[in-house]
Amino acid sequence: MNKTIRLNVAGKDIELSSEMVIEKLKGAHLGEVRTHAVLVDGVLHPVKKAFAAITGIDVLDFNTMVARAAFSKLGFKVLRES
C-alpha cells in the first residue's frame, strides 16, 4: 500500500510517499544506528539521516520527532535502539 503525506519542514512544503522512501533508500548506507531508527525494506537506517536523504533537508533543520512522525504516518516501523 502506497501512503502519501504532506508536511512543512524548515519552511519547505514536501510530499512524501512510502514508495518514494523505499526507492530513495534502496542500497543507501547512512551509517550506524545510535538511538532512533526506521525500518525500510528490511534495513534499519538512522532516522534523521534517512529523513534528510529523502527530503534534501539538512539534519540540523529538523528534530528527531519530525522524522519519526513522518515515517510512522507512512507506515514504517520506527524503533528506539538502546
Domain assignments of the chain as residue spans, ordered by start: 4-80
Share of the chain above pLDDT 70, in %: 99
pTM of the model: 0.93
* Pair 57, 9: CB distance under 8 Å: yes
pLDDT in tens, 21-68: 999 999 999 999 999 999 999 999 999 999 999 999 999 999 999 999
